[in-house]
Amino acid sequence: MMRRFVHIALVFAVCGLSVLACDRAPKEPENTVAPAASQSAASSQSAAMPAQAQPAPANKEDFRVPGAKRLVAIGDLHGDLAATKRALVLAGAIDEQGAWVGKDLVIVQTGDQLDRGNDEAEILSLLKRLQEEARSAGGAVHVLNGNHEAMNVLGDFRYVTPQAFAAFDGASPPSPHAAHAAAEMQGRAGAFLPGGAVALELAERPLILVVGDTAFAHAGILPAHVRFGIDRLNQHNAAWMRGEKATPPALVMDPDGPLWTRIYGAPTLSPAVCAVLDETLQLLGVRRLVIGHTVQEQGMSGACDDRVFRIDVGLSRYYGERRTQVLEITADGARILGAP
């Protein structure tokens, strides 16, 4: 009860007068797909764009980066450093000592590094170091924000383990919103609430990214998201995490938004859902979509003739370390690496 009270207080501190809008963030458990969820999302997906929103003006589209000779996508990590390293080794990105050996390899990690496990600080540090090492070698490591990153910036710490809670004590600069937190949460709040040291790092990450002919998001992309403006969404989210905007983008809180939607997560997708996917891909001008968020009980899978790949396989010990798999994308197409 006390943790729930503190959560409400922190969300109020972050969201201010818009607390009711902020507190509409979907609640977990987050790995169940309601039988009708995909159909309802397919029929009402346009509602995900706020009524007042207009399409973003054309620009250079910062959410797009060039394609790669070899691209590997990794799903949800949830605070498990050992699982993270296993996936990176399987991808050919690092050696057993954790050094970058991928040369010009490009890695995309689709969010949810945080929560459910004890190793959050180590994972964030590893990914930051690998970004620098990959860049020096001619490769790249792109890390997306997932719903759990957004939840922590909102002050929703329900899924933080006791060991991880104190791992960010003393992070500087602290968020100015941390003063509203209970004493035992000051360290975490100071690091993660808007303007805090970790929130500033998360602000550098996109919600949606396109690498060559492949789009990436934590949970999914709908036509309404594209029409709203991908750069517009990424930039607003970054400004909120930096403490420059009082509230997150509405799509960050929307159950049908790119951090929460389940439309593409079900084992079998209907023709109606595949049609929504096709429209999304056409609007983006890409060949495929890659998402995490919904654990695939039978391992990574493609759907809609492999126009969407679902890559959250429950890597972390929280989910029983079901399997280690990554998705490799080359000029020959996409293939799943690792045991099924």
Q: Which of 148, 177, 180, 218 is catalytic?
A: 148
The residues near 131 (Cβ < 8 Å, ≥ 6 apart) are 140, 141, 143
Three-state DSSP class for residue 241? helix
The C-alpha atoms of residue 218 and residue 220 are separated, in whole angstroms, by 6
What phi and psi, each to the nearest 5 degrees, are found at residue 143? -120, 125
Three-state DSSP class for residue 76? coil
Active site residue 148: yes
The C-alpha atoms of residue 231 and residue 210 are separated, in whole angstroms, by 11
The structure tokens listed for 255 are: 């159950």
Alpha-carbon dihedral sign for residues 282, 285, 291, 296:
positive
Other CB atoms within 10 A of residue 50 CB:
13
Other CB atoms within 10 A of residue 315 CB:
29
The C-alpha atoms of residue 112 and residue 253 are separated, in whole angstroms, by 16
Closest by Cα among 78, 156, 90 to 124: 78
- Contact in structure between 11 and 19 (CB atoms under 8 Å): yes
The C-alpha atoms of residue 245 and residue 265 are separated, in whole angstroms, by 31
- Would you name the residues annotated as active-site residues? 148
